Structure 1
Amino acid sequence: MDPARKVETPFHFYSGMDRPLGIQAQSLLEFLEAVKRVGTESLEFHLYRGDFERWIKDVFNSAFLHSRISALRRDGVKGEELRRRLVGVLEEWIGFYLYKRP
């Protein structure tokens, strides 16, 4: 799964129910950049609804990312700690992908 590959179903960021931020991600690289800049209330909103896990599973079919993001929810991570750990998970996967490419 190329992290720069654009997908048909983008992830749309919200700060709450019916409160779109106007930010979307069509690739894992765009998703990573959005995670770095949206407010933590948006990250918490999506994490605890299972939105991140669902999008990763449905669009990218990545068991690794799905399980790592699920663990963040189970651990009850919030605020800047959530952002830091989510960025770490995404950067780890993207780095692994780029490293293993011929």
Structure 2
Amino acid sequence: MSISPVKRLILETMWLIDKPAKATEIAKDVGVQFPAVMMHLVGLAKSEYVKSPSKGLYVITEKGKKMLGLPEVDKEKASEILAYLPAEKAFHFYADYGKPLNVFAASLGDFCEKIKDIDPSSIEFHLHRGDFEAWFTGLGDLELARKTLLIREQKMFGEELRKKLCEIVRARCEELAKLRGA
């Protein structure tokens, strides 16, 4: 079964928000008028792609994530994604082409810590080249790679970009740690 592009956009936005959100917040982030978003949320709820954990708040369900094509992650996969890597597989930060910062992240958790202090222009450099998506995919985390793609499409820059990237990576690390049982 497929869904309309607007419903897909709403699901992707809810997935990126990653917590219960008001329909007005979703409408603002999607760029669609509130009544249309509300209508789509009702349809998505009937299909069990979203649910309302409390009055006025909506969150994407596991079924909604599957509709977006996201693979399920079990304890073993979570451990694999969070594992420390050898230096040649670590993420190496650059200021620009041929200008290494001599800073690297040897795990997803390490990456989460390092991006707090990396110059925002380095984050912009890597994001717009698709480097983060490629590294997250290499770790086996397709969900984080897709979230990073959605951030890139939002054309964020500077501290706003750093904050959003830190937020999604930290939340993902916490989610994976729970799955792993740490």
SS of the aligned residue for 2:103 comes to strand
Aligned partner of residue 114 in structure 2, secondary structure: helix
4+ residue segments displaced more than 4 Å:
none
Aligned partner of 1:74 among 123, 141, 153: 153
User: Unmatched 5+ residue regions in structure 2?
Assistant: 1-77
Q: CA RMSD in A?
A: 1.3
| Alignment-derived partner of residue 57 in structure 1 | 137
- The gaps in structure 1 that reach 5 residues or longer are none
Q: Which has the higher contact order (CA 8 A, sep 6+)?
A: 1
Kept in 1: contact 2:120–2:162 (CA 8 A): yes
Q: How far is 1:61 from its partner?
A: 1.3
Separation in structure 2 between the aligned mates of residue 101 and residue 23 of structure 1, nearest angstrom: 27
- Point out the structure with max Rg over C-alpha: 2
Aligned to 1:98: 177
Deviation track 1:24-63 (CA, whole Å, cap 9, x = no partner) reads 01101111111111000000000000000001102x1111
Cα separation, partners in 2 of 1:101 and 1:10, compared to 1, 3 Å: closer
Identity over aligned residues, as a percent?
Answer: 32
Taking structure 1 as the reference length, the TM-score comes to 0.92
